[in-house]
Amino acid sequence: MTGERNLTPVNVLTGFLGSGKTTLLQRMLRSPALRRTAVLINEFGEVGLDHLLVQPVDDAVVLLESGCICCTIRGDLTRALLGLLGRRERSEIPYFDRVVIETTGLADPGPILYTLLSEPVVRHHFRLGNVIATVDAANADLHLSRNPEGIKQVAAADRLVVTKTDLVAPEQSAVVHATLARLNPSAEVCDARDEALDIDELLEVRPATHSGERSQRYWFLPAASDVEATGLGDALRRHGTEVSSLSLILDEPLDWTAFGIWLSMLLNRHGNDVLRVKGMLAVQGMDTPVLVNGVQHIVHPPQHLERWPTDDHRSRLVFITRGIDRERLLRSLEACCGARVAEHAAA
Amino acid sequence: MCGLCGVFLAEGAWSDTAVTSLATGGRTARHERLYRVARANRVLKLFHASVADWNGVSYVVSDATGQTEIVASIGAVWPVAERMCKRPIDPLDERVIAAMARA
């Protein structure tokens, strides 16, 4: 079997319509570390124009056929990835060592991740990098409160990039940052206008263990419970978006088998409403942590870290759910896994 | 594919991957598999169903009426068991939570 290190990483760049995905992509492609990146763009409309902007990797840009990844593109995505692979093998295009998929603004990222993690041929040549979502600070209220895809994009993200902050007052920008931190406590929230924004870090270009530790250290920060209700949060509630997050800390190491059975049972019944589960777990019998990462019904293969990023070796779990009673979720976890939740924060 | 019975060797599901890649409290892979079956049966018995290991490569889901189906991973047990018992197997159901808390 192909080793993890030999697989070509695939980063998914998502975000609502007009939220600045292509602008961010162009900035990414200026990074020397990404000079050998192929780009897949999924476009709405008969003529896809955005790909014309992606000059540096022009030869390796493939425009996916379908306008909507969420329901029809899995075959297209598979063909596009394997097509790139074939062209690389035949030296028809410059060698690439990374792929970035820019989704449509209306895409549900779940099926894309499912394709990358489960399609037998794809997963033997590619591995999922991370998921980056752009959020337009000027229109975050509209995008997130009225479009379930926008919420799914934020929930699935490992990095959230707030764009167009120069068009809004600093207070509104702060509200958007705070709301995103509440919606997805496991994702790092960055500002696209930040000159110091590290593109390589954004894409986790560096070795997995290094990047993984850094990103996990991020959500060892205090839980989002102290983020007060914001205007955007109120808007989300007004529009009936029952999305919430639950951050847990467990004192004792988990029984991995019991946890796996419980989570598989939960996702079977409520996978559509478990928008994200992400955890760094202390597992019985192991000295180092294990990462679990799931988006709806899709769970990444568990990943080992070589060491704990901080001296706190307790399990951390984050759930982003829609319409699920958090208190019941917590009691179910405790009852089915024999776990005891030491601290929890809901937002 | 198994030459004798024609069963595809399924790709491991994420929860089953743990057998070989995660330390499991000193249990061997075989022991771990049986432990997983025992843990799943704690839930399934509430629904008059059960699961058993099948040659270390698959699982057999059964119910009280004798229905039997082979599945590839522990995650695939739940939809099959639900279909057999015609009820949702919901870990957020208060009866399941209460029963598991007592188990």
Q: Are A9 and A129 in contact (CB under 8 A)?
A: yes
User: Which residue in chain A is spatially nearest to B74 when comparing CA positions?
Assistant: A261
Average pLDDT over residues A192-196: 84
- Is residue A210 assigned to a domain? yes
- Is residue A85 assigned to a domain? yes
- Is residue A229 assigned to a domain? no
Q: Do A328 and A190 have their domain in common?
A: no
Measured in whole angstroms, the distance separating CA A52 from the mean position of its chain's CA atoms is: 26
* Residue A207 belongs to domain with CATH number: 3.40.50.300
- Is residue A237 assigned to a domain? no
Is the pLDDT at B8 greater than 50? The verdict is no
Q: Do A249 and A146 have their domain in common?
A: no
> pLDDT tens digits for B10-56?
445 666 755 345 555 566 778 888 999 999 999 999 999 999 999 88
Q: Do A33 and A126 have their domain in common?
A: yes
Domain endpoint, select from A160, A186, A219: A219
- Which pair of structure tokens corresponds to residue B5? 């019975």
Select from A106, A160, A102, A169 the least CA-distant residue to A138. Answer: A169
Inspect the interface and report whether the beta carbons of B89 and A265 lie closer than 8 Å.
yes
Q: Do A307 and A172 have their domain in common?
A: no
User: Which residue in chain A is spatially nearest to B18 when comparing CA positions?
Assistant: A302
Q: Do A247 and A208 have their domain in common?
A: no
Average pLDDT over residues A182-208: 80
Burial group, residue A270, by CB count within 10 angstroms (0-12, 13-18, 19+): buried
Q: Are A332 and A319 in contact (CB under 8 A)?
A: no
- Is residue A235 assigned to a domain? no
- Is residue A224 assigned to a domain? no
d(CA A303, CA A308) in angstroms, rounded, equals: 13
Q: Do A90 and A205 have their domain in common?
A: yes
- Is residue A29 assigned to a domain? yes
> pLDDT tens digits for A284-343?
888 888 888 888 888 888 888 888 888 889 998 999 998 899 899 999 999 999 888 877
Q: Do A151 and A14 have their domain in common?
A: yes
Percent of chain A with pLDDT over 70: 78
A195: three-class secondary structure by DSSP: coil
Measured between CB atoms, does B83 come within 8 Å of chain A?
Answer: no
Chain A residues with CB inside 8 Å of B75's CB? Answer: 264, 267-268
A124: three-class secondary structure by DSSP: coil
Is the pLDDT at A11 greater than 50? The verdict is yes
pLDDT, residue A286, reads 86
pLDDT, residue B46, reads 96
DSSP labels, A212-267: HHHHHHHTTSPPGGGSPP-HHHHHHHHTT--EEEEEEEESSPB-HHHHHHHHHHHH
d(CA A258, CA B99) in angstroms, rounded, equals: 15
Chain B residues with CB inside 8 Å of A270's CB? Answer: 90, 92
d(CA B94, CA A43) in angstroms, rounded, equals: 45
pLDDT, residue A79, reads 85
- Sole residue written with tokens 């409290």: B25
Q: Do A202 and A341 have their domain in common?
A: no
d(CA A300, CA A297) in angstroms, rounded, equals: 10
**Domain residue limits at A152:** 3-219
Computed over every residue of chain A, the mean pLDDT equals 79
pLDDT, residue A332, reads 96
pLDDT, residue A337, reads 92
Select from A277, A250, A248, A281 the least CA-distant residue to A264. Answer: A277
Chain B residues with CB inside 8 Å of A290's CB? Answer: 22
How many CB contacts within 8 angstroms connect chain A with chain B? 98
pLDDT, residue A307, reads 86
Residues 6+ apart with CB under 8 A from B68: B60, B61, B62
Q: Which of B20, B46, B92 to mutate to test the interface with A (most CBs of A within 10 A)?
A: B92
pLDDT: which is higher, A196 or B39:
B39
- Is residue A158 assigned to a domain? yes
Q: Could you tell me which residues are beta bridge partners of residue A299? A: A294
> pLDDT tens digits for A211-270?
455 555 555 444 444 334 456 666 666 555 678 888 889 989 999 999 999 999 999 999
> pLDDT tens digits for A65-100?
444 443 344 677 888 889 889 988 998 888 888 999
* ipTM, interface predicted TM-score of the complex: 0.87
Q: Do A295 and A247 have their domain in common?
A: yes
Q: Do A147 and A277 have their domain in common?
A: no
pLDDT, residue A56, reads 40
Q: Do A206 and A247 have their domain in common?
A: no
Domain count for chain A, please give it.
2
Question: CA angle, corner A258, sides to A254 and A264, nearest 5?
Answer: 115
Chain B residues with CB inside 8 Å of A128's CB? Answer: none
Nearest chain A CA: its distance from B91 CA (Å): 6
Inspect the interface and report whether the beta carbons of B39 and A261 lie closer than 8 Å.
yes
* Residue A262 belongs to domain with CATH number: 3.30.1220.10
Average pLDDT over residues B53-61: 92
Q: Do A25 and A116 have their domain in common?
A: yes
Measured between CB atoms, does B72 come within 8 Å of chain A?
Answer: no
pLDDT, residue B13, reads 67
